[in-house]
Amino acid sequence: MILVTGGAGYIGSHTCVELLNDGHEIVVVDNLSNSHAKAIERISQITGKTFPFYEMDLCDADALDKVCAQYKPACVIHFAGLKAVGESVVIPVKYYENNILSTTTLLKAMEKHGIKQIIFSSSATVYNNAANTMPLTEDSITGGCTNPYGWTKYMNEQIISDAVNANDGWSAVLLRYFNPIGAHESGLIGEDPQGIPNNLLPYVAQVAVGKLAELSVTGNDYDTPDGTGVRDYLHVCDLAVGHVAAVKYAKSNPGTHAINLGTGQGTSVLQVVNTFERANNIKVPYRIVARRPGDIATCYADPSKAEKLLGWRTVKTLDEMCVDLWRWQKNNPNGYNS
């Protein structure tokens, strides 16, 4: 049995699908603060399987204790947390309180109930932008984060590592994601951001579907082939498969293991926009605006450790990411509220 925290969210819901398809039993907890109960129904629709779901806050130690006592999970995949970079700068204390308290509450429950394996949803934001060259390896310098969201991921990595060191036989896999995009090929689950999207691809899709008038491209004077920022985009279903591989790895490899999940290739903002337009035969109007503070020119992964330890690498192309995203957006113009 695997406990999935934040399992109704974007990456969590896709991972639940892959876990169920791989034969795992799951129990999901999510407070639905930035996700939707409909995602839970649709995971069942896609997989043909049902599973227990609890709408609860991970910071609620008593509620978590009851779930752990009832289901006795062997492993936790920890997605739950606030995740908007820009918002974290505006309300930092809320981010620190929620993202760190939820993790410490979870670790205490793991100690109490003898749960020895945790897969943590970390991020490339833990790397120090100013101090590293590309591609980023797991040995690249971390810290010096540019926003409170990134700092909460960095701190949680440290807290989890310390808990693993203090508990015999524990294992943690810290998965450092780059830029997940796309949606499940069924078009039933996908990213459903509240308000104006923070990330490029949901923004592109909402412009394409007519919800937003145009895309704002933040900066075209970077030292990149076309002047726009370069990032490592990977399909969310590839990312989800990486979690299934991490569960298997954690079972027989105690200790803490930080692992990048990315394609190893950088793609610029305008390349993404052009690919989306070509793959879906639709125009996406855009205009160039000022750079965002804290953004860097280029960021992409060296994913070779994931291939070596997990036997994982991405298989889906940028075209597939764009087609799958558009299918989800077209079928669900208002996300799960459609």
Phi-psi region of 268 (alpha: psi -120 to 50; beta: other; left: phi over 0): beta
Measured distance CA(270)–CA(225) in Å, rounded = 10
121 within 8 A of 11, measured Cβ to Cβ: yes
β 230-231/267-268 pair status: antiparallel
Of all residues in the chain, what percent are helix, strand and coil, respectively (each to 5)?
A: 45, 20, 40
The H-or-E segment that residue 259 falls in is: strand 255-261
Query: How far are the Cα atoms of 8, 40, 107, 156, 221 from residue 53, in angstroms, in the given order?
Result: 9, 8, 20, 25, 47
Please, which residues have CB within 8 angstroms of residue 88's CB and are 6 or more apart in sequence?
A: 82, 95, 147, 148, 149, 152
Q: Hey, what are 275's tokens?
A: 């690919």
Helix 269-280 and helix 318-331, axial crossing angle in degrees, nearest 10: 60
What's the one-letter identity of residue 287? Answer: R
Q: Hey, what are 182's tokens?
A: 């796309």
Determine which one of 95, 127, 149, 203 is catalytic.
149
Instruction: Give ∠ CA 159-165-171 in degrees, rounded to 5.
Output: 85
- Is 149 among the catalytic positions? yes
Measured distance CA(228)–CA(244) in Å, rounded = 34
Q: Hey, what are 195's tokens?
A: 């308000």
Q: Cis link prior to 303 (omega < 30° from 0)? A: no
Q: Burial of 211 by CB count in 10 Å (0-12 exposed, 13-18 middle, 19+ buried)?
A: middle
Tell me which residues are annotated as active site: 149
